[in-house]
Amino acid sequence: MPRLRLALNQIDSTVGDIDANAESVLRWTRHSADQGAHLVAFPEMTLTGYPVEDLALRSSFVEASRAALRSLAGRLADEGLGGVPVVVGYLDRSATAQPRYGQPAGAPQNAAAVLHGGEVALSFAKHHLPNYGVFDEFRYFVPGDTLPVVRVRGVDVALAICEDLWQDGGRVPAARSARAGLLLSVNASPYERDKDDTRLELVSRRAREAGCTTAYLAMTGGQDELVFDGDSIVVDRDGTVLARAPQFTEGCVVLDLDLPAAEPEPPTGVVDDGLRIDRVVLSERPAPEPAAGPWLSGGHAEPLDDDEEVYSALVVGLRAYVTKNGFRSVLIGLSGGIDSALVASIACDALGAQHVYGVSMPSKYSSQHSRDDAAELARRTGLDYRTVSIEPMFDAYTGALELTGLAEENLQSRLRGTLLMALSNQEGHLVLAPGNKSELAVGYSTLYGDSVGGYGPIKDVYKTSVFRLAEWRNRAAAALGRTPPIPENSITKPPSAELRPDQVDTDSLPDYPVLDAILALYVDGDRGADEIVAAGYDRELVTRTLRMVDTAEYKRRQYPPGTKISSKGFGKDRRLPVTNRWRERG
């Protein structure tokens, strides 16, 4: 059987930075070639970054992507890399699609190409277009209608793009019909909790359906609210894992595969789902055994445990947002509570403590232990710390305007928000909003107060998970012989906004374990009130909780973006009208 040395480059791209992305392809191709790769691959839409959203509808951007692809093919050849086939994702347009109602103007395509010998040897577009959750690809793209097959070193390699594996039919059974020896899928698969298990099961099942070894190459890094965790996988035709890349890490997986030789007269024409086989022969002869050198296995990284995985996603998401948008530092209001403490810990891990600034903004209701906990967090992490009391500002406001009750409480939060944004303007920091998913769900936040900021690192993390992640981070530090970053008192004391004497969150909300369980059913699961009650929850509590969620939509619309870790994050995933009189009747 021919040996094919495959290089899977699990890398991060930046949307719109086509020149830098092309340089990254050059650099990693050089690295792959130095290791003797016969076929080099990069993730979905590497050249443009992913997702490009409405940039796909700009003809200037589409043409820039197409021109950059041709230029990249020439540069690879100029650098002596033209003999190595390179699969790279980019943005294309259909040359044959006729404008028609319901299709995006200009017929953009989520495409990939095989570069070889200074030319674009083969190009193809994603066949299955996802249109659920964060995906909106019917809005942007027209589908491809071919099964691309490239012969490399005597092996027929069928090619696919992301959703082509996630949906039934299409290129997976077509690869079997074409008698491919390898199915290679390039992907930009956004992270969500527990997706690694789903992904492995999917790739194994598709390999059995395709009847051939299957390689699933995924992007890593972050883009706006999305995080990409890599976790590239190669399995044999029976679904057994041959290699697996680490999560949340850029790198190149190089492995040798013994694959069946291509047939002398392989199938042609139209196969499954009406796909037409588009076959290109680049090299007929298998790699000579002596030149192949020692066997490379690619490695087998174990997936992270659940808490480390989520925490890593939050770190990568924040780092990507800050660095890709040109910020040098972040600013956090430190209350001494668990939310701001976890956000500060994530920020220090993402950016380094020297780029994290914290400010304590006590009022007359702030307890001494909260002030002490904020200072202790700063000491443990090494972040820049200062204290600015809001009492003089509060007195000035209340001297001019008599406020009581909730208005007086919210004024304190809004003064803190104003102070943070003033420091942001003066010193150039990105303000991080500390709100969690439980608070956002029920509207337990103050507009233009604790909701101010440019990014919300834990906006998709329920409060019960906030506690669990804080405990995990401290355990991880202790296991390495380092100081746990989060003060124990911030974890164990009852959560409180401290906007009135002796206030605690449970004055207004159910206990978080109960609240989060109800929210998971309603927000993430789209269950109705009767279904939630049938699951064992008090009807009056369910009705009250769902009413709080429904009436807080206007607040969530004004909250900053933040890292998505669940299957139903607020914003891209869960889109409900602000003006909405439908209420679940419990």
- The catalytic residue positions are 44, 126, 162
Our measurement of the distance from residue 77's CA atom to the centroid of its chain's CA atoms, rounded to an integer in Å, reads 33
* Rounded-to-integer distance, Cα 146 and Cα 111, Å: 12
Residue 420 makes CB contacts below 8 A (sequence gap 6+) with: 331, 333, 359, 361, 431, 452, 453
Q: Which helix (H) or strand (E) holds 421?
A: helix 405-427
Q: How far is CA 144 from CA 41, 98, 100, 361, 363, in A?
A: 19, 14, 16, 56, 60
- CB contact at 8 A, 81 and 59: no
* Rounded-to-integer distance, Cα 349 and Cα 18, Å: 28
Q: Where are the beta strands (DSSP E) in 31-104?
A: 39-41, 86-93
Exposure pattern of 92-123 as b/e (b: 16+ CB <10 Å)?
bbbeebeeeeebbebbbbbbbbbbbeeebbbb
Q: Which residue reads 């953009």 in tokens?
A: 108
User: What token pair was written down for 358?
Assistant: 């914290």
Peptide bond into 487 cis (omega under 30): no
Closest CA to 417 of 454, 442, 385, 384: 454
3-state SS class at 10: strand
* 387 Rama class: left (phi>0) / alpha (psi -120 to 50) / beta: beta
* Rounded-to-integer distance, Cα 77 and Cα 83, Å: 7
* 53 Rama class: left (phi>0) / alpha (psi -120 to 50) / beta: left
> What count of Cα atoms within 13 Å lies in the side-chain half-sphere of residue 426?
7
3-state SS class at 93: strand
* Rounded-to-integer distance, Cα 455 and Cα 330, Å: 10
For residue 48, with 0-12 CB atoms within 10 Å meaning exposed, 13-18 middle and 19 or more buried, which class applies?
buried
User: What token pair was written down for 255?
Assistant: 């492995």
Residue 179 makes CB contacts below 8 A (sequence gap 6+) with: 156, 263, 266, 267
Largest Cα–Cα separation, the chain: 90
Q: Which residues make beta-bridge pairs with 360?
A: 387
Dihedral sign of CA atoms 33, 34, 35, 41 in order: negative
First-to-last C-alpha distance (Å) of the chain:
65
Q: Which residues make beta-bridge pairs with 92?
A: 109
Length of the chain: 586
* Rounded-to-integer distance, Cα 5 and Cα 257, Å: 6
